[in-house]
Amino acid sequence: MSSIEITGLTMRFAQTPVLKDLDLQVRTSTVTAILGSSGSGKSTLLRCLAGLLRPEQGVIQIGSTVVFGKGIWVPPERRGIGLVPQEGSLFPHLSVGDNVGYGLRGRNSGGRIAHLLDLVGLPGTSAMRPHELSGGMQQRVAVARALAPSPHVVLLDEPFSALDAALRDDVRQDVFAAIRATGATAILVTHDQEEAFAVADQVAVMMDNTIAQQAPPAEVYLTPVSLDVARFVGDTVLVPAHGTGACRAKTALGELPAQDPTSSGASGVLVFRPEDLQITGDGPVLAHAAVSSVSYHGHDTLLAARAGEQELLIRVLGRQAVAAGDDVTVRVTRPGVFFG
């Protein structure tokens, strides 16, 4: 299978920048999630990689082959790419088997189709028509169709966004298990942070039409490279702070731990995640706070609280015997990230 390397990719629509000097590296046989809000350019990036759009400048290399560069343009059908669109876009007049085998051109297709339908969890459906399948099943067929010609790269453009939440997780898990079983390199475009973190080996956060950070999911979440990235990929607690020159920062709540040394006297904010704050257990006391609201989510509870002028979010496991108006002792369990 193939790695992907994109360098300096730039594109405009009617003089409006859509991609700006974008770099991206994807390792062979891994899953990369392109995470961004609507209008960030992520779907345009996918179409440029697939060869459906021609950028203004930059280089796109798949494996050892440059498919776009100065004086180079490899058409879509010669790039070895399988594409799964947002909606399955199956051919309604063809059977499931014929949809899957469409790109095989009759090349020993029978066994390959059956194998792929087994792989995506749809054995015995070859003779059915798309309208007889649920939305989730149609997306699985679309993935099987994309995998049928044994592509080096599989591109998925928000393929699960139209599915019910209860169905989405199961379909997503089966789809990526099938992709990983083939060894294909995959890129998923999504605006859903939980989805990106759940399936990807690395996450590339798109902001302002370029890649703001590319790293494993835990690194993006726990050590974001900017305050904008921190806010985009999860809930944040922002505490105004001044650096001390050590791994500490002075705040209105006292001196708090930081992940890295902070420049002495530098003004900024110390960023915590809600789960970095707790109301039970050990750890330095951050503040005594009054609970203003309680949001129960089943697997966890999110408390909003106030300590003086400081707003706090605290995420705790399960249900807590805490109500609005209660006073709680808030402890910090992990150093924050300082942005000056």
At 108 the pLDDT is: 62
Query: What is the DSSP secondary-structure string of 288-312?
Result: EEEEEEEEE-SSEEEEEEEETTEEE
Q: Phi/psi zone of residue 226: left (φ > 0), alpha (ψ -120 to 50 degrees), beta?
A: beta
- Low-confidence stretches of the chain (pLDDT < 50) are none
**Taking Cα atoms as reference points, which of 219, 221, 243 lies closest to residue 230?**
221
Neighbours of 284 (CB within 10 A): 11
pLDDT digits (tens, 9 = 90+) for 58-92: 999 999 999 999 999 999 999 999 999 887 689 99
Greatest CA separation found in the chain? Answer: 71
Q: Are the C-beta atoms of 69 and 55 separated by less than 8 Å?
A: no
* Residues 288/329, Cβ–Cβ less than 8 Å: yes
Strand order in the sheet with 267-272: 254-257, 248-251, 237-243, 267-272, 337-339
Residues 136, 166 contacting (CB under 8 angstroms): no
Please provide residue 255's backbone torsions phi and psi, each rounded to the nearest 5 degrees. -85, 125
Could you give the CA distance from residue 266 to residue 222 in angstroms, rounded to a whole number? 22
CB atoms within 10 A of CB 5: 16
pLDDT of residue 265: 85
C-alpha pair distances (Å), 337 with each of 227, 238, 259: 9, 10, 6
pLDDT (0 to 100) of residue 163: 85
Domains of the chain: 4-227 (3.40.50.300), 235-339 (2.40.50.140)
Query: In terms of pTM, does the model score above 0.85?
Result: yes
Question: Scanning the structure block, which residue is given the tokens 């950028």?
Answer: 55
DSSP class of 54: -
